[in-house]
Amino acid sequence: MEISFNFTDVNAPNPAIREQHGYLLRNGKHLFSAEFLPQSKPMAGIVFCSPFGEEKIRTIRIYVSFARALAAMGIAAICFDYFGDGDSEGDFEEASFEDRLADIDSVYRQFGDKHSLDKMGLMGLRWGGTLAAIAAENLNPEFLILWEPIIDTQKYFFDHLRINLASQMLIEGKILKNREQLIKELEAGKILTVEGYNLTGGVYFKARDCGLKDRKFDFRGKSLIVQIASNTEKMRPELLGLQQALVGSEITAVPREFEWEKTQTWQPAPPLLFGETIKFLKKNGFLGRNI
């Protein structure tokens, strides 16, 4: 299927799109949300689940661009901030792992009800993909899109602590506490600041232990896994493992068009990633027209 896409002007004012920014309530907590809606009744709706910490800050523009692209094609999209994150209420250290899943659940249901959406999907980049996949088991959406999801959360969160070590090196000139010592502190109930975020043991251990590796999924919707890596010829085994676990899922690879661990490339609308995702949506009947 040959589809041509042009995303260079996707963030230009577009009369075909309505944008509604505001707050949703989940158990009395205000969650920031930005809805991107087609002028006509949406063919489907999609909830974007954010990555962890700074990865979200560095990639927010990609979510916004893709939400606008989808709205222009007739799909309603919503970006939101977890409790304690982004523009939402609360402090980072107040939010538990379960809060993130409850936020996804609540936003998904409210968004669907508000716009009477018949078909809905979840999408996430990196840890946002991990959470989307876990949330999909309860919500059972029609489709699930995972952009370079974190499979091995044990490794991901352990590696994340390295940023604290780098900070120790810069500020103190040496490592005062290694990662094992930091984990002991988390176990003892201390709060650890990593890249400016106050991390609690509660979040660290739950997020670490709740990954996608070897997970058995009870999900029967359509799903797409996108590997984002310089080598597009070879799929990583961990992603192939996830494909096996998600019955009937598709997997594809695109080169790295942007970064999440630094801000080196300004690519607000990565065409290959967007293109592959839109092909999947179109092929599975969630899209009715091209942009």
Out of 96, 154, 155, 198, the residue judged to bind other proteins by CB under 8 A: 198
Report in angstroms how near the CB of residue 268 gets to other proteins at its nearest: 7
CA dist list (Å): 206 to 97, 123, 199, 203, 233: 6, 21, 12, 5, 34
Q: How far out from the chain centre does Cα 215 lie?
A: 18
Lookup: tokens for 92: 């980072």
* Interface with other proteins, residue 275, by CB under 8 A: no
Picking from 77, 80, 125, the residue whose alpha carbon sits closest to that of residue 100 is: 80
Out of 2, 4, 12, 218, the residue judged to bind other proteins by CB under 8 A: 12
CA dist list (Å): 271 to 28, 150, 168: 39, 22, 38
Sign, CA torsion 64/20/39/280:
positive
| Contact pattern for other proteins over residues 107 through 146, marking x by CB under 8 A | ----------------------------------------
Length of the chain as a residue count: 291
Lookup: tokens for 173: 């000139």
Report in angstroms how near the CB of residue 14 gets to other proteins at its nearest: 9
Picking from 18, 23, 12, 20, the residue whose alpha carbon sits closest to that of residue 41 is: 18
Q: Are 157 and 179 in contact (CB under 8 A)?
A: no
Nearer to other proteins, 216 or 266 (CB): 266
Report in angstroms how near the CB of residue 104 gets to other proteins at its nearest: 19
Which 3 state secondary structure label does DSSP give 207?
helix
Out of 96, 156, 158, 167, the residue judged to bind other proteins by CB under 8 A: 167
CA separation for the pair 225, 244 (Å, rounded): 11
* Interface with other proteins, residue 86, by CB under 8 A: yes
* Interface with other proteins, residue 94, by CB under 8 A: no
Out of 39, 138, 140, 263, the residue judged to bind other proteins by CB under 8 A: 263
Nearer to other proteins, 58 or 206 (CB): 58
Q: Which of residues 45-74 bind other proteins (CB under 8 A)?
A: 53-54, 57-58, 60-61, 64
Out of 96, 154, 232, 267, the residue judged to bind other proteins by CB under 8 A: 267
Picking from 217, 73, 191, 62, the residue whose alpha carbon sits closest to that of residue 128 is: 62
Q: Of 79-87, 131-139, 144-152, 247-255, which segment contacts other proteins by CB under 8 A? A: 79-87
Report in angstroms how near the CB of residue 71 gets to other proteins at its nearest: 13
Picking from 267, 171, 154, the residue whose alpha carbon sits closest to that of residue 209 is: 154
With CB under 8 A, what is the number of residues at the site for other proteins? 37
Interface residues toward other proteins, by CB under 8 A: 8-13, 21, 34, 53-54, 57-58, 60-61, 64, 85-87, 91-92, 167, 170-171, 173-174, 193, 195-198, 263-269
